[in-house]
Amino acid sequence: MDDDGRYRDNRSDFIRGAKDIAKVAKKQVGKKVGRGVDKMADEYTRRSYKRFEEEDDDDDYAGVPGNDGGYYRNDSRANDDEGHSDSTEGHDEDDEIYEGEYQGIPRGDSSGKAGGLDGVTAAQAQQFRDLSAYEGERRKDQEELAQQYETILQECGHGKFQWTLYFVLGLALMADGVEIFVVGFVLPSAEKDMCLSEPNKGMLGLIVYLGMMVGAFVWGGLADRIGRRQTLLISLSINSVFAFFSSFVQGYSSFLFCRLASGVGIGGSIPIVFSYYSEFLAQEKRGEHLSWLCMFWMIGGIYASAMAWAIIPHYGWSFQMGSAYQFHSWRVFVLVCAFPSVAAISALSTMPESPRFYLENGKHDEAWMILKQVHDTNMRAKGYPERVFSVTTIKTVKQMDELVNLGDGAAWHEKWRIKLTSLFHQVWSNFQTVFSPEYRRTTYMMMAVWFSMSFSYYGLTVWFPDMIKYLQKQEYSSRTKVFVKEKVEHVTFNFTLENQVHRQGEYFNDKFMNLKMKSMVFEDSLFEECYFEDITSSNTFFKNCTFIATLFYNTDLFKYRLINCKLINSTFLHNKEGCLLSDISDENNAYMVYFVSFLGTLAVLPGNIVSALLMDKIGRLRMLAGSSVISCVSCFFLSFGNSESAMIALLCLFGGISIASWNALDVLTVELYPSDKRTTAFGFLNALCKLAAVLGISIFTSFVGITKAVPIMFASGALAAGSFLALKLPETRGQVLQ
């Protein structure tokens, strides 16, 4: 057979092989990839015909030249025996899969491995293995890696490196704790600055949870694809930037958006932090030290309460430029609350990526260097600098790159679009595996436990302060003074009027000057030839009153405060603009709110200590179920909370008991899922947690002042169900990290 005939036969063999590959790909990984292989064969046919026509000498044909803008991400896997990495352990030469956007046509410079196009025949179709066989090999690699990785962590020991990482990740967790409290503390002041209605206040209180729900799902999924450290840095950066902006924006809509974006950013903190830290902890230390890490969420709450206590009541810490721009003390507080996130970013920049993530993604050398760093850091700190890291080769998990055809001469934005689309499909596919038959039962059980815990915990922790405010309001109302049919003439009022009701009064030629009114109500009263000047009011209303020849000068007695009133020859001059902060707010009540939050957060300290010390001794399930049962029983004491002090004590009791459940749930979630799905599953469950928090807060607060029975019944039922389902989960104590 002549050269032309051999060339045509080789070309035909390759095309037939490519078509067979396309059929297998359509069955195994979907029609889209199959069409990509078909397109590869057609492209090869077109190019080979063109080359054959242009070149008379068949010996010069060496394959399709590489194209930097075409099919390959990079040249990192070009055949170079000197550059061979241990990360290819477990791969035979014939099984080599090239990295790149397109895994079909080898480059001309890789002819040593591929044997040129003359060697590309139907045998290459064997590289596309059956998907189930591939998954079986991958699962076997993961099991071997898990056992070896645990042995390596034992050799590295627990010391300076883990404690350094503990404080770094603790700052990120602290930022999450701060975020929960920020809006609640600034709302009383912000509502005056922004003239917020009740629906707007409610939305502002819930928007952070909605943002954290989205952030947990998105960042959790990305952390399994692009890395724990990189994703956490991105999420914390978004949180700190928008938290900074939120302290300066003036309008309600812009402030709402900034807090939403800030919540989206911090949403990735919890799922990534626990997964990241767990991959540096050996089996016997994992439960205890993950529980110690939870302490930083408590520290975040204490930090927020202390800063609010120290900053917000000091209205002198402010400035304004006319009536258009105001920067009051609560904005200083919002700015200060961004500091933990900024500090976490700075500290995290000095830490390495998780070596377990690298090994799961076939990056042997990078993982080995980090593990050596962990070993050497700990050994030097313990006084054994001479000890050598004995590990030379670590098992890596078999990889399969996606087939993505970027095309010749594709624009940069098109490449980015395809890469982002590919990343989205990878994240979504990884999320779907959480509901695969292997993990489906575990995922549904964890969903139920997370939902029940969050619904009861967040519902009650917001219900408690609202109940305390309600009791304060009831007690304040009981001290209201009532005046009926009083007649006052030629009197100047220049002192504070507070908590009074005046009915059917008559006021003639009276002056109300430089006056502060708080919780004042005038009903069916007559004001004739009176003069109101420089009035600052709060919760003050005139109902069914008549004003005759009365002048209002520089007051905030806007017409919405005059309900069904008659104005005869009365004038309003130079009304105060906007919703200005005033000094008449009760500072004692403000301090009480911060103090209650401080006590409630500090009360979880005993629960944190107990859970950390017992987590590895009694197991995750016993800790979770036992704490949930005790929390359920404590809910019944809520019916005895008829005073402010009693409600504060019950809040501290419930928080101190329930924190052990949360610590156990965090540890259990980390250990139930394999490393390549850990943050995806954790992020999804944490997103569900925030959704349950929104529902719990909305439902529980709607019963404030109506009944205690319904919140108590809901909370107790949810905790009882959660503790029962928790016992059905597998115990993970004493197991290596999957």
Query: What's the pLDDT tens digit per position in 655-699?
Result: 888 888 999 999 999 999 988 889 999 999 999 999 999 998 888
Give the per-residue pLDDT at 642: 73
Give the per-residue pLDDT at 150: 86
Q: Side chain identity at 172, as an amino acid letter?
A: A
Contact 181, 301 (CB under 8 A): yes
Q: What is the dihedral of CA 237, 239, 245, 250, to 10 degrees?
A: 170
Task: Band the pLDDT of 143: cuts 50, 70, 90.
Answer: confident
Give the per-residue pLDDT at 517: 85
Tokens 């079909």 label which residue? 104
Three-state secondary-structure class, residue 534: strand
Task: Give yes or no for residue 620 having a pLDDT over 60.
Answer: yes
Tokens representing 624? 């979770």
Task: Give yes or no for residue 3 having a pLDDT over 70.
Answer: no
**CB-based burial, 210-223: b 16+ in 10 Å, e otherwise:** bbbbbbbbbbbbbb
Give the per-residue pLDDT at 218: 92
Task: Band the pLDDT of 331: cuts 50, 70, 90.
Answer: confident
Nearest to 139, CA basis, from 674, 541, 665, 710? 674
Give the per-residue pLDDT at 656: 86
Give the per-residue pLDDT at 49: 47
Average pLDDT over residues 298-303: 90
Average pLDDT over residues 84-90: 40
Contacts with 429 (C-beta within 8 Å, 6 or more apart), sequence order: none
Q: Residue 447 and residue 445: Cα distance in Å, rounded? A: 5
Task: Give yes or no for residue 217 having a pLDDT over 70.
Answer: yes
624 or 77: which carries more pLDDT confidence? Answer: 624
Average pLDDT over residues 292-319: 81
Strand partners, 482: 501
Alpha-helical segments (H) within 434-515? 440-477
Task: Give yes or no for residue 27 having a pLDDT over 60.
Answer: no
Average pLDDT over residues 387-405: 72
Q: Residue 404 and residue 420: Cα distance in Å, rounded? A: 12
Give the per-residue pLDDT at 115: 43
Contact 586, 566 (CB under 8 A): no
Q: Write down the pTM of the prediction.
A: 0.73
| Residue 714: how many other CB atoms lie within 10 Å | 20
Task: Give yes or no for residue 283 having a pLDDT over 60.
Answer: yes
**For all residues of the chain together, what is the average pLDDT?**
77
Nearest to 502, CA basis, from 519, 477, 478? 519
Three-state secondary-structure class, residue 521: strand
For β-strands 319-321 and 325-327, DSSP reports them as antiparallel
CA triple 672-297-678, angle to 5 deg? 20
Contact 501, 483 (CB under 8 A): yes
| Residue 591: how many other CB atoms lie within 10 Å | 14
* pLDDT tens digits for range 55-66: 444 444 343 333
Dihedral sign for Cα atoms in the order 351, 354, 355, 361: negative
Three-state secondary-structure class, residue 646: helix
Give the per-residue pLDDT at 408: 57
Average pLDDT over residues 20-34: 48
Average pLDDT over residues 226-255: 90
Q: Side chain identity at 106, as an amino acid letter?
A: P
Task: Give yes or no for residue 30 having a pLDDT over 60.
Answer: no
Q: Residue 34 and residue 25: Cα distance in Å, rounded? A: 5
Lowest mean pLDDT among 121-125, 263-267, 707-711: 121-125
Contacts with 235 (C-beta within 8 Å, 6 or more apart), sequence order: 215, 219, 265, 266, 267, 268, 269, 272
Give the per-residue pLDDT at 146: 82
Task: Band the pLDDT of 257: cuts 50, 70, 90.
Answer: very high
Average pLDDT over residues 144-167: 88
149 or 113: which carries more pLDDT confidence? Answer: 149
Task: Give yes or no for residue 604 having a pLDDT over 50.
Answer: yes
Task: Give yes or no for residue 484 having a pLDDT over 80.
Answer: yes
Task: Give yes or no for residue 516 having a pLDDT over 90.
Answer: no
For β-strands 492-493 and 571-573, DSSP reports them as unpaired
Lowest mean pLDDT among 227-236, 353-362, 570-579, 696-705: 570-579
| 319 class by beta-carbon count within 10 Å (0-12 exposed, 13-18 middle, 19+ buried) | exposed
Task: Band the pLDDT of 110: cuts 50, 70, 90.
Answer: very low
Dihedral sign for Cα atoms in the order 52, 56, 59, 61: negative
Contacts with 693 (C-beta within 8 Å, 6 or more apart), sequence order: 209, 454, 455, 457, 458, 459
For β-strands 487-489 and 497-503, DSSP reports them as unpaired
Give the per-residue pLDDT at 62: 40
Give the Å distances, CA to CA, from 107 to 18, 406, 534: 17, 15, 83
Three-state secondary-structure class, residue 20: helix
Contact 341, 240 (CB under 8 A): yes
Give the per-residue pLDDT at 426: 80
Give Cα 583 to chain centroid, integer Å: 37
Alpha-helical segments (H) within 267-397? 269-278, 283-293, 295-311, 329-336, 339-348, 355-360, 364-381
Give the Å distances, CA to CA, from 283 to 67, 523, 733, 736: 48, 71, 8, 6
